[in-house]
Amino acid sequence: MNDLQKRTWAEISLPNIRHNYEAIRARLPEGCRFLGVVKADAYGHGAVQVSRLLESAGADYLAVSCLDEALELREHGITMPILILGHTPPEYTETLIDNHITQTISALAKAKAYSEAAGALGKTLKTHIKLDTGMSRLGYLCSGDYFETGVENLCRSVVLPNLEMEGIYTHFAVSDEPGEDCEAYTRAQFKLFTDVIDAVEARSGCHFAIRHCANTGAVVSYPEMMLDMVRPGLLLYGYGDVSGKLDLRPCMRLVTTISTIKYYEPGTTVSYGRRFTTQRRTRMGVLAAGYADGLPRLCSNKVSFAAKGGFAPQRGSICMDMCMVDLTDLPEASVGSEVELFGPVNDINKLSDAAQTIPYELLCAVSKRVPRVYAE
């Protein structure tokens, strides 16, 4: 990054990602594979850089949400297996096959469409089956009264030609939330998952080499559910309540700079909507970061950021490209000095709580105009 352009940037620590990868890996049972979730530009950390690191560190699989994300990795020389978690229109079957990309299949009708498309090409598509065990999103429905039809549809899917059914997976709804209800729900999802697999394998004689369901929450709280592969996302990046339990390190530090500092008399209103009024003579700094950089406007007047010498309360509505902070009690903070919006010093959870959201959303919200700076 050009120093002259120092405005707002995201420092990404590749050593911390490697540390987190190795710390998670050390918890896995013998033979359990590691899939790193790198969708949404690796939760804002840079999918290509993170994937290169995971490939060199010995991870087994990557997961993305869509074909474009998978192709970006292939175009940048990533050769390890990639699973697409979302839907890909069957007309792209040839692109999937030619790029060695594994496609999720979430319903019998889609299995038939991919099978036909692959058959017409005389090729085979590698796939993982997705079961809906209680997330009510993508996947073969198999809960409650749907158990029989679910198993039947799966048995019909696994015998279709030109599909290689390498794996089968499901996704948990509340594995990262505390409480008896959440634990019971997660255990019921897991039991249904393994019951369906047992029924399909017994009835069709097929065998799924890779059964996986452990996302971040399950890797931390339900190690008995790791099966043949784990599938963490947030955990790898060291964020979330559960990351602390494993001594993982946050990998992104969002930093901005102070553009200018001015003194206002008591009773001065600040920013759009005049939603803050100074109560004292105030030394107010203007930060070069706003909601277009990924700072949620809902945080306005509710958070503080880490400046030189301490925390600076944010004042007034957060604008598109700027926001104001009270530096009266932080005389060391000066024009050009750095302010950590979130990172090791300023916990991202304070911001996500203020914005009524979760750390995931803040990481993904760090926008394109924020350069990523990689620490090796």
Ligand X SMILES: *Cc1c(COP(=O)(O)O)cnc(C)c1O
Catalytic residue ranges: 39, 272
CA–CA distance, 363 with 366 (Å, rounded to integer)? 6
Q: CB of residue 5 vs ligand X: minimum separation in angstroms?
A: 32
Residue 356 identity (one-letter amino acid) = Q
Which residue, 20 or 162, is less far from ligand X as judged by CB? 20
CA–CA distance, 229 with 249 (Å, rounded to integer)? 22
Q: CB of residue 63 vs ligand X: minimum separation in angstroms?
A: 7
The size of the interface with ligand X (CB under 6 A), counted in residues, is 11
Q: CB of residue 173 vs ligand X: minimum separation in angstroms?
A: 11
Using the rule CB under 6 A, is 352 a contact of ligand X? no
Q: Residues 244, 235: contact at Cβ < 8 Å?
A: no
Which residue, 39 or 283, is less far from ligand X as judged by CB? 39
Q: CB of residue 235 vs ligand X: minimum separation in angstroms?
A: 6
Q: Which residue has the tokens 């979430």?
A: 106
Using the rule CB under 6 A, is 215 a contact of ligand X? yes
> Count of alpha carbons within 13 Å of 159, Cβ hemisphere only?
10
Q: SS in 3 state form for the chain?
A: CCHHHCCEEEEEEHHHHHHHHHHHHCCCCCCCEEEEECHHHHHCCCHHHHHHHHHHHCCCEEEECCHHHHHHHHHCCCCCCEEECCCCCHHHHHHHHHCCEEEEECCHHHHHHHHHHHHHHCCCEEEEEEEECCCCCCCEECCHHHHHHHHHHHHHHHCCCCEEEEEEEECCCCCCCCCHHHHHHHHHHHHHHHHHHHHHHHHHCCCCCEEEEECHHHHHHCHHHCCCEECCCHHHHCCCHHHHHHCCCCCEEEEEEEEEEEEECCCCEECHHHCEECCCCEEEEEECCCHHHCCCHHHCCCCEEEECCEEEEEECCCCCCCEEEECCCCCCCCCCCEEEEECCCCCHHHHHHHCCCCHHHHHHHCCCCCCEEEEC
CA–CA distance, 228 with 212 (Å, rounded to integer)? 6
* Contact pattern for ligand X over residues 69 through 88, marking x by CB under 6 A: ----------------x---
Using the rule CB under 6 A, is 283 a contact of ligand X? no
Q: Which range in 1-9, 19-27, 156-164, 225-233 contacts ligand X by CB under 6 A? A: 225-233
Q: CB of residue 39 vs ligand X: minimum separation in angstroms?
A: 6
Using the rule CB under 6 A, is 216 a contact of ligand X? yes
List the interface residues with ligand X, window 138-197 (CB under 6 A): 171
Using the rule CB under 6 A, is 37 a contact of ligand X? yes
Q: Which residue has the tokens 């299949």?
A: 105
Q: Which range in 8-16, 200-208, 228-236, 244-252 contacts ligand X by CB under 6 A? A: 228-236
Q: CB of residue 170 vs ligand X: minimum separation in angstroms?
A: 8
Q: CB of residue 42 vs ligand X: minimum separation in angstroms?
A: 11
Using the rule CB under 6 A, is 45 a contact of ligand X? no
The residue of the chain with the least Cβ separation from ligand X equals 233
Residue 128 identity (one-letter amino acid) = H
Q: CB of residue 137 vs ligand X: minimum separation in angstroms?
A: 8
Which residue, 186 or 257, is less far from ligand X as judged by CB? 186
Q: Which range in 53-61, 151-159, 226-234, 336-344 contacts ligand X by CB under 6 A? A: 226-234
> Count of alpha carbons within 13 Å of 63, Cβ hemisphere only?
23
Using the rule CB under 6 A, is 44 a contact of ligand X? no
List the interface residues with ligand X, window 230-259 (CB under 6 A): 231-235
List of residues contacting ligand X (CB under 6 A)? 37, 39, 85, 171, 215-216, 231-235
